Structure 1
Amino acid sequence: MRLKVGVTKMYRDVAKNIGIEDYSVVDPYNTKLKGRYSLLIISKGYRDRVKKLNPFPIFEISSATFDDLIESVKGLSKLNIGSPEKIEKYLLDIEERKKYIKSLKFNRDVEVNPVSDFVKKVVLDLGMPISKNGIPVVPDYMVDKYKDNKNILVLKTHRYDLTTLERVEDRYLSLISLLNSL
């Protein structure tokens, strides 16, 4: 029996990269889906909201960091969906991008204060010193709360024009660029 998978727009590239053959791009966050799905692939943190509308099995992808994405792909692999060869290639691609980012030179002495757990994961992965007195690093979706503070670093988090791996990499590159501009 072939699984019918519903995947959110943000993660359709993951479904393609790991070789899921029968998937549809869906909006389970705001829509009661028609049809029967064996699995919905959604963003981490939305399970309860989606479950209220769509009572299908759910897999949440976490992709704040390279390691989050690696663990998510491994989790999907354990569900026996996709192609083992494509999954292995995708994992190698992620590892390669992670290694490249970790090799970049940037100002690692600047103390920062990540204002969300999401940003904190990226900051910690880069080995940045964290301090309550450090420069606030604010995700773009929270910037309105800090508009009166001119001394902040704004991190773009969800560029939908990029693939999942490109979005993860872009977060790191954006933060590195912000740090190097100080």
Structure 2
Amino acid sequence: MNKKEIIEASLFVSGEGLDCTSISKKLNISKDEIKELITSLIQEYDRRETGLEIIQINTDRFAMQVKPKYSKIVSKIAPGEIKPPVLRTLSMVAYHQPISQADLVDIRGNSVYDHVNELKNRGFINTNPHGRTKILQTTELFADYFGIESNDMTTIKEKIIELSRNQSGNLGLDRWLGRKVIAVTPMYESLMDMCGISEYRVINAYKPTSDEIDSLSDVYKLLIAEGYSSNVSKYYDGEIIEVKSTTFEDLINNINLLSDVYDSNVAETSIEKIKEKREYYVSKAMVIDKKANPKTDMISRILSDLHIRISSDGVCILPDYKLSIAEKDNSSNIGIVVPTHGLDEDLFEKVCKKYETIIDGLKETKSE
């Protein structure tokens, strides 16, 4: 492997320059050796009769460019690569088309006006007047330039996602395309399935890393556990939805909170399934004549939903997170322990497990 030639080729295709730190990581070469190789290239280009030169932008960054004396005439012959900010605007036009210029300005800012003019002049987009704004769409030249076989919207969207991922990686893909992102904490991924939402981001919003905080910047709706809003709002200023997962009614309410983004067919099917399962457990609990003594509001809500009588002299029922406290107090009245933590099932299965534990526990107590 010729290291110098690889660095030369990389500078040639980069367009915006490269820093030695980045090259060092990719090629597993020390920064000092990279700087020596680039210095050697600079000297070689100075000796050659060529229209290109390598310049040092700062202590760590270098770029290959057309020599200033040739730049004007070269720009007339070959317009050159699309600069990243303009390419990002073009990506958004292609992905969201037809899109109004006004909407694009809302997403990208006032620089869009200059970008649109450049893209129109280069033949990549058409602009059609629409009231006080313009409607933007890509042209056949756009498809040809990017090697897209068809001008079909689906094909174009797939290609744009590929190009955008190359520019920004998976994490920044939504931001690059100007897509609104829904994010959930790991516990609530199954809620996305219930709603038929396939595009979302999973983030630990309770103790986020610096990368996760950065990834929250383009999230407009964040789903977290109930009671954590004040903590999460330190890192996130968008819409926070607190998810409850105690009863079947909670699950239905969670789905309805996402009615503006869910797939109605999938959501309706999920709600029907939830209602049927609730009726199953309610009917199963009808034969129980034992009273229960709930130790938390969560347990009280489940008992109320099952129409089980509540009394201070009933069977003690507590969630697992209260068990250590009860054991520490040497309580002999530990009847039924309801699992809440460490369950791998989705939300629906977790709720089912709570109901089953209470019903089966009370039935066993009755037979004693």
Please say whether Structure 1 and Structure 2 have the same fold, judged by a TM-score greater than 0.5. yes
Match of 2:355 in 1: 172
Kindly state the Cα deviation for residue 159 of structure 1 after the two structures are TM-superposed.
Answer: 4.5
Is the 8 Å Cα contact of residues 2 and 22 (structure 1) preserved in structure 2? no
1:143 aligns with 2:323: yes
Q: How many residues align?
A: 180
- Give the partner amino acid of 1:109: D
TM-score by length of 2: 0.47
Between 1:146-155 and 1:82-91, the stretch displaced more is 146-155
Q: 1:169 to 1:159 in 2, by over 3 A?
A: farther
Aligned partner of 2:196 among 4, 19, 32 = 19
Q: In the TM superposition, what are the counterparts of 1:1-182 in structure 2 within 5 Å?
A: 2-31=179-208, 33-35=213-215, 36-77=218-259, 80-105=260-285, 108-147=288-327, 148-152=330-334, 153-182=336-365
Counterparts of 2:291 and 2:256, CA distance in 1: 33
Helix, strand or coil for the counterpart of 1:53?
Answer: coil
Check the 8 A contact 2:292/2:315 in 1, yes or no. Answer: yes
> For the residues of structure 1 that align with 2:339 and 2:286, how far apart are their CA atoms?
18
Q: Secondary structure at the match of 1:76?
A: coil
Q: Which has the higher helix share?
A: 2
Offset at 1:17? 2.3
Deviations 1:118-147 (A, max 9, x none): 111011111111112222211001111211
Equivalent pair of 2:180/2:220 in contact (CA under 8 Å) = yes
Question: Structure 2 stretches of 5 or more lacking a match?
Answer: 1-177
Question: Which stretches of structure 1, 4 residues or longer, exceed 3 Å deviation after superposition?
Answer: none
Judge conservation of contact 1:47–1:58 (CA < 8 Å) in 2: yes
Amino acid at match of 1:141: Y
> Matched residues in 1 for 2:287 and 2:341: separation?
24
Identical columns (%):
30
Deviation per residue, 1:30-82 (Å, 9 max, x gap): 115222201101111211111122222111111100011111211221xx112
Structure 2 CA distance for partners of 1:177 and 1:48, relative to 1, 3 Å: same
RMSD (Å), alpha carbons: 1.7
Are the equivalent residues in 1 in contact too, given 2:285–2:308 (CA < 8 A)?
A: no
TM-score by length of 1: 0.91
Query: Which has the larger Rg?
Result: 2
